[in-house]
Structure 1
Amino acid sequence: MSTVALDAAALETLVSAAVAAPSIHNSQPWHFKLRPETSTLEVRAVGERKLPQTDPRGQALYVSVGAAVFNLRVAARHLGWAPEVRMLPDPAEPDLLAAVELDRPALVTLPSTAELYGAIWHRHTIRTPFTGPPVPAVVLADLVAAARAEETTLDIPGPEETERLLHLTAEAERTNTTDIGRRIESRAWIQEPGGPPLGIPRRALGPQDAAGHLPMRDFSAIDPADHLPPAAFETHPCIAVLATHQDRPVDWLRAGLALQHVLLVATVHQVRASMLHQALEWPHERWATRDPSQGPGCVQMILRLGYGPEGAPTPRLPLTDSIDEDETEHL
């Protein structure tokens, strides 16, 4: 198959796909630099977009960047490359989280590439109730397989374990709303009209569950007068738990790759997702999210899955703010 040239247009396509990935509080903590001499696109963390209160270890930042790297990998295959991803390639550069080599053309076209690439532009986080039927077992099996392809696990817990995880999430959400540092930080990531396209617009926050069963993130950041009326969420939510075998920075990146793979496969099946991350933001609750019956593992994300509207995208920074163009002027 033919491969497009690694020129400015291809670079724009690659980075446009990458930045469409989800990130905690839409912080977009990534930056890209092309090394033309090696046909390598470096992906770096933007430290000033880390959330020191919510994410003191940087786990969520790494997951966010990992999700962007997965989109980048899909876009590269769509353009005809066989990308090689090296995670944490240089210990001397801790902000260099991944390097994607684009020097080899793909020998075959994977059947799923076109579907996953198309799903990049339709995947949006949903914070509203799901209204459709339960997600079929065959679809859930595809999501489990997507996580496995990235060397992670995705567990679909039964009703009792689901209730336990929702209880832990609710406890963490209550702590978030009473912790002064968390409230201030959350408020800072609510996007104000006319401000930079970082953070979450008020229109994307979503309502709270009228029954108090599903602990949706409130952000503790908007005035009560601006709250949406509570809504009836699904009585029996479908929860999925993404875990890695260990809990190192490279595992957080791998979890980001797996998260985005799962989300894109879900989007192909028209399944929507929202993320219940609150319990992973407090050490005690995060440890408690582990299900001993599933063996050792470190939970990296809890997803809520279902059918509903596609949702609207949250804003992204201009590509010129995400690409280091010093080395691309001659492309």
Structure 2
Amino acid sequence: LDVDLTEADRFTLAAHYRRDKHDEYQQGFPSGFTEPHQGNLEDTFSIAGENRLSLSPAWTLTLGASYDWRDLKKAEEYGAPPAGGPSVLFSYPIRNAAAFNWQGRLEWHPNEDSELHASVSRRSRFPTIFERFSTQFGTAASNPGLEPERSTNFEIGGSRQFGVLRAEGAIFYSNIDDAIVSVRPAGSPANTTTRRNLGDAEYYGAELSLTARFGSTLELGANYTYIHRRFDIMPQVGVTIPAFELTDVPTHKGFAYASWSPTPRLRIVPNVDIASDRTTLTTAAPPVYYRTGSYIQANIRVDFDILDNVTIGVGAKNLFDDYYVLVDGFPEAGRSFFLSFQY
């Protein structure tokens, strides 16, 4: 729902609903016994409002807020109950949750070629059904009372047109409270963990993008992102904290491309994707963290408009057939070719 309160003031209201449903049962071997049906059912609701106010021709203030709540209706499991005993069909305690989120953004447009902005927000993430209830084939214990993760985020950025060159950049900082981590409570088997809100994280970095267009035939572009991450786990009496490192995100990442159109219907787009090494985790016991190594990947794509609304494309990825890994045990594809058709 959008409402123009005045010529300079616009209010937006939105509502969202989601239902998560999970049903399972499995047959055991060699006994052949089939578990009784188990189900999880949960509704999530959200209502949000945003107000965009033009303070002057150059200044704009945007404020928004949302309220989210989660209604867990059913959470069943077959196995030994938390209190102990033989395997039975049982229900976990029903725990609901709610969160208030807000954000604000101030923009300044001194002229048509320039823009500066600053923003701050507070956001929440509800733990999933998997995070709360999955036993992960006997290696995890459930935690129905797991709370939402919460983050406070800041960003300052802007853009500027310098003739044929457009530059965009931003610096950002995020602090995460009540981050979800896996720990081993006292008395638990060595291979069993449970998730708790014991983490505290800090992310900060910067990003820069440059784009230059030379007439109607050639465009050059590049972007770079730097991100630093810190993650601490709060000690707790009676809890063993396994070795833990943040995974999957490189500290440095860049991308560069050229788009050349020698004719109005033909586009040739080579590009280079660059990333520093990142941390991954082995799946073997005991798990080991290690760095995957950096990579530089060259790719190319050629598109031709055979008709005004029909395009055929060919291309190749990882032109130099480099070997690189992002996640332990899953090497990325080597040199590959593709053909596409778009209508």
TM-score, normalized by length of structure 1? 0.21
Q: Going by fraction, where is strand more abundant, 1 or 2?
A: 2
Q: Which has the higher contact order (CA 8 A, sep 6+)?
A: 1
